[in-house]
Amino acid sequence: MFDSPHPGRGTGGRRARSTAGPSAADGAAAPTLATQDGTGQPDAHAGAGLWDDDLAAAAEAEAESAAAVDASLPSGEEALDTGRQLLESVDTGGAALQLALVLRIAPALAPAVIDVIGDRHDPGLAFVRGDAYRLVGRELDARRAYADAARPSDPSTSGEPAGPPPDPPSPEGDPA
């Protein structure tokens, strides 16, 4: 029924005849490249698709943009040092952010991230620890770290107030 594996595309299994010169039936060799102006010189856009110029421009713009973004990112070592300093200043949220950035910029520094985090139990740091364990191939340890991150935090270790104290029991007979 169809001459081509993709109906509606191509020539349907038939070869289009070139109108740019004598045909093979005339005894002369048919030109191998289609030309627009009939001069026999290949057209600069022959074989170019409808969107090729747009795709090339987009790829070039993306490469320039990526270079600008890379220039603004810290190196993995710089982010690791910043994360270490933030942990020392007890900014665990900022440290988790910097250490997560280390894992994305320089995954080879995952063992150093694990060492910096140590046994801290902050949920953000536990997520980063899990990612670092996963990068070094320790899936079971990664899952344990994710489970630690998912556990409710203990108010006595988080440094936050525990909330209001519970109400004292009411004496019997008091309709409170």
- Other CB atoms within a 10 A radius of the CB of residue 95 amount to 25
Residue 132 has pLDDT above 90, yes or no: yes
Structural domains of the chain in order of their starting residue, each with its CATH number: 76-152 (1.25.40)
Max avg pLDDT among 52-56, 71-75, 172-176: 71-75
Instruction: Give per-residue pLDDT as tens, 6-43.
Output: 555 555 555 555 455 555 455 555 455 555 555 665 55
Rounded to the nearest integer, the mean pLDDT of the chain is 73
Q: What is the DSSP string of 12-56?
A: TTPPPPP-SS--GGGTSPPPSS--SSSSSSPPTTTT--TTHHHHH
Query: How many angstroms separate the CA atoms of 124 and 129, rounded?
Result: 9
**pLDDT confidence band for 56 (50 / 70 / 90):** confident
74-78, 81-85, 112-116: least confident range: 74-78
Longest dimension (CA), the chain: 118
Q: What does pTM read for this prediction?
A: 0.51
**pLDDT confidence band for 158 (50 / 70 / 90):** very low
* Residue with the two structure tokens 């991150």: 149
The three-point CA angle 4-9-12 to 5° equals 35
CA torsion sign for 128, 78, 86, 66 is negative
Query: How many angstroms separate the CA atoms of 128 and 135, rounded?
Result: 11
Instruction: Give per-residue pLDDT as tens, 59-79.
Output: 777 766 766 666 678 888 999
| Nearest residue to 77 via CA among 99, 95, 96 | 99
Residue 162 confidence (pLDDT): 47
